[in-house]
Chain A
Amino acid sequence: MFSRKSAGQAAALAAVLSLGLAASAHAGTLVINTDTSDPAPKAAFEAAIEGFKAENPDVEVKWNIFDHEGYKTSIRNFLTAEAPDIAAWYAGNRMAPFVNAGLFADVSDVWEENGLNDSLASAASSMTIDGKKWGVPYTYYQWGIYYRQDIFDELGIEVPKTWDELKAASAKLKENGITPFAIGSKALWPTGGWFDYMDLRVNGYEFHMDLTAGKVPYTDPKVVEVFDKWSELVEPGYFLENHAAYDWQEAVPFFVNGEAAMYLMGNFAVDLFKSGGLTEDQLGFMQFPEITPGLPKAEDAPTDTIHIPANASNKEDAKKFLAYVARAEVQSQMNEILGQLPTNKGSKRPEDKYLSQGFEMLSEAYALAQFYDRDARAEMAKAGMEGFQEFMVKPGNQDRILQRLEKIRSRVYK
């Protein structure tokens, strides 16, 4: 096992050396694979690549765009078979399988040489495994509760700051025939957002990280407390009925039509809310309310990243590209197109209503979590979110669900 690995490293080294020689003669081709099949991310990358080309006219860039969902499977193939020089992916535990399998290259030197440890400080921990950096973040976005300002005004509801206020607001909405929370849990992950926030607010960041790292059993009284609190919203029917039948987009019409008044979501949803016809006066954003008083508030802020595959053939230019994308002004430009937040602290502050609110919230956040399915291991995440969905449909099954999750946890993190 060891000898094979070191042989691989030697081969990689030889490849780099020979490439270095070739590069001095004339720079090579830079192959970039991204999952940016949606219009905004595509345009953002296009801008970044154009800017990079203008600065490095001798580098020929070859850009492959993959379908967003299909990419999650194809990356496993191309990283082993025909590695590009740059691959887009996600931070946190989500990159761990590739790092552990030796498929991503260590880019700590890029961080060192470009002062990224300072300028990207907020995202540094989510890019670190075994004390090394494995990629460069270029964007992130906040999670929080989007709510219907007009409905709140009409019913005289103040923006809830505490758990009791949130429950009171929900009760009032329900009385008036409005579902308090829209959610579509068919794809499972929206339930992960709810669990993250319930746990972050009930037990705090450290406990949540220990739990997603598999150090705490799911049958722990603190986890039970999360579900007990959560059921205070589930039992009275504060979530959209039949949510298991909808994707998150399919639940948006309920919110837009005023049949539901709040939606816990990532900022990417704003685009859909607006194209559904909501104006900025109708749509508000609030931080998830406090549950355990005095607990410092951590937030979910998933980070998107780019990496250099270990088998890349043009690592030299790839590192240049990483450094380019890490720059403050490049991130400002990319995120303006993306409608998300730049990770570089020197970047321009966003002007958009929701982004600037999110920016403020995240800059004051105690800590940032990635998201349940990026913090927990894939197997655990899948089983966990399935359990959350079951809980949101049948809260009575709580004990059985937690026991099942514990069984899976003890197997996955053995």
Chain B
Amino acid sequence: MNRPAAMSGSTSFWQRHQRRIAPWFFLAPGAFMFAVYVILPIFQSMWISLYDWDGIGEKTFIGIANYVELFDDDAFYTSLKNNVIWLVLYMLAVPAGLFVALFLNQTVFGIRLVKSLFFFPFVLSQVVVGLVFAWFYDPSFGLLAQVFEAFGLKPIAVLADEDYVTYGIIAAGLWPQIAYCMILYLTGLNNISPEQIEAGRLDGAKGLRMLWHVVLPQLRPATFIAVVVTVIGALRSFDLVSIMTDGGPYGSSRVLAYYMYEQALSEYGFRMGYGAAIAVVLFAIMMVYITLFLVRMFSEERGAR
């Protein structure tokens, strides 16, 4: 009633722009959290990577010396190579998941139980998966060793052999990852339009032709998600390496994420700057895929409009 003039002016400003401003208010808490816990640490890591710092003492600015050292570090190249192997072999989870999903996508008695059993490894913690596989590979009492012995062969200590160890860990990682891709494809298969299948059938498509030309195109969103999730899963592989080998034997199963942890946070590490430099490199690699993902998402959203 006897409100000051300025106030009433701002009220009308609010009324005029309410629809534009309101969403930002709703976004604010989330955006704030994202800025503090995601964006800020990214820049902080980049900043720390320019220092020599043990986490408790004085920081010393050393410019790009950490990066220079990184590019002359054998362990870094081992990790990088292993990350590439992870990326390539982890991709097997996508076709394997599709295959299992197709196999399970039928209506028989008890199929729900079978499906949930196949999904089981994804529910397990990675730590448990790692332990189970470590026992499986154990050269003295492990199942693999027993199988080898049954055929009269000398058991291979998979996790103690620099040539096999990374493949051994990836095999363990594929187990839950296949289950993940399977569930993505199973939901995708639910949404396939029966009319198109019917039409395909009338045109005489069967088997692989049906799969390739009729089913797969409809599964494209599922495939896209499966690929992205698998790539990111491969790049951030850490828990299995940590549980199964600690990066050993003599560092031959390290991946970038593990090497970063080892340098920055493990018992003998505490080189925060160097660890941060590794993190920045890993981030740069991940960024390629994340950008790809975002660009596609935006373009699809625009297409939908």
Assess the B249–A373 pair: CB atoms within 8 A. Answer: no
B13-30: which have CB < 8 Å to A? Answer: none
Q: Does B202 contact A (CB under 8 A)?
A: no
**Chain A hits for B159, CB < 8 A:** 244-245
Q: How far is the CA of A316 from the CA of B270 in the complex (A)?
A: 31
Q: How far is the CA of A411 from the CA of B249 in the complex (A)?
A: 23
Q: How far is the CA of A187 from the CA of B247 in the complex (A)?
A: 10
Cross-chain contact of A393 among B160, B246, B251 (Cβ < 8 A): B160
- Residues on A facing B (Cβ under 8 Å): 1, 69, 72-73, 76, 79-80, 97-98, 100-101, 103, 185-188, 241-245, 373, 378-379, 381-382, 386-387, 389-390, 393, 404, 411
Least CB distance from B276 to A in Å reads: 16
Assess the A393–B249 pair: CB atoms within 8 A. Answer: yes
Assess the A389–B139 pair: CB atoms within 8 A. Answer: no
Assess the B57–A101 pair: CB atoms within 8 A. Answer: yes
Assess the A76–B160 pair: CB atoms within 8 A. Answer: no
Question: How many Cβ-Cβ contacts under 8 Å join chain A to chain B?
Answer: 76
Q: How far is the CA of A72 from the CA of B55 in the complex (A)?
A: 13
* Chain B binding surface SS class: loop
**Chain B hits for A186, CB < 8 A:** 160, 245-246, 248-249
Least CB distance from A403 to B in Å reads: 10
Assess the A393–B250 pair: CB atoms within 8 A. Answer: yes
Give how many B residues have a beta carbon under 8 Å from the other chain's beta carbons: 28
Assess the A386–B250 pair: CB atoms within 8 A. Answer: yes
**Chain B hits for A404, CB < 8 A:** 74
Given known contacts A244-B160, A393-B160, A97 and B56 CB-to-CB distance under 8 angstroms: yes
* Chain A binding surface SS class: helix
**Chain B hits for A378, CB < 8 A:** 267-270
Most buried by B among A79, A98, A390, A404: A390
Task: Please encode chain B, from 138 to 154, with 1 for each CB lying within 8 Å of some chain A CB and 0 for all others.
Answer: 11100000000000000
B263-300: which have CB < 8 Å to A? Answer: 265, 267-271
**Chain A hits for B246, CB < 8 A:** 186-188
Assess the B269–A188 pair: CB atoms within 8 A. Answer: no
Most buried by B among A1, A241, A245, A390: A245
**Chain A hits for B239, CB < 8 A:** none
Q: How far is the CA of A389 from the CA of B249 in the complex (A)?
A: 7
Most buried by A among B162, B251, B269: B251
Cross-chain contact of B250 among A73, A187, A381, A389 (Cβ < 8 A): A389
